[in-house]
Every structure is written in C-alpha cells, then in structure tokens.
Amino acid sequence: MMLSPLAINVLIAFFAKTRASQVILLCTTIAYSAWAFYLLMDAQSSSDGQAGLVLLLTAIVASPVLFIAWIVCLVIEIILRKKMRAQEGEATAKALC
C-alpha cells in the first residue's frame, strides 16, 4: 500500500510524452519518497504499538496531493499534445502548398 503511489507515478511518467509532465511527476516522486522514508524511520524508532498503522495510511494521506499532481500532468499532456498536433497540421498544410 505504501509503495503504490510510487508505482502509479512511474507508470504515468512512462507514458508521459511532455517534459513538463515528467518533471512534475519526478518532483512528486522525490517528495513522496522522502516523506514516506521519514515516516518509515519515525515508525521504526517509535515504541508505540500502533506505529505500523502509519505505514498503512501513508498512501491514503498523500492521495489528495498526488491526485492534484496527476490531474495537472493529464491537463498538461492534453494541452501540449493538441498544440503539437496543430503545429504538425500547419506544417503539413505548408508542405502541400
């Protein structure tokens, strides 16, 4: 459960074509990894019996921020791909003339 957002980020980054989306996903991956590592170290050093729940809830707590990043990447992909297709269409039209 804790590593599932990282797997989703990697999967989305694999299919992302634009550099802006890849940079956003890279930043969210690094931030989530650092935060999850901090929580893991804190849970292991804690003598609390319920510290293991932190590891279970890490992905759930981070979900709103990650959803926003994923939606932003999707919007960027759609906008930039439309621009690229428009530029390709203009280039094709100029080549035909």
Condensed to tens digits (0 to 9), the pLDDT of residues 57-68 reads 888 888 888 999
The residue segments making up the domain with residue 30 are 4-96
Count of residues in the chain: 97
Q: What per-residue confidence (pLDDT) applies to 97?
A: 67
User: What is the residue-level pLDDT of the chain in tens, covering all 97 positions?
Assistant: 677 888 888 888 888 888 888 899 999 989 988 988 888 888 888 777 777 787 778 888 888 889 999 999 999 999 988 888 888 877 777 777 6
Find the Cα–Cα–Cα–Cα dihedral 8, 10, 12, 14, rounded to 10°: -150
Give the predicted TM-score (pTM) of the model: 0.76
Q: Which is nearest to 24 in space by CA: 84, 63, 74, 58?
A: 74
As to burial, measured by CB atoms within 10 angstroms (0-12 exposed, 13-18 middle, 19+ buried), residue 25 is buried
Domain count, the chain: 1
Q: Which two tokens stand for residue 3?
A: 């590593």
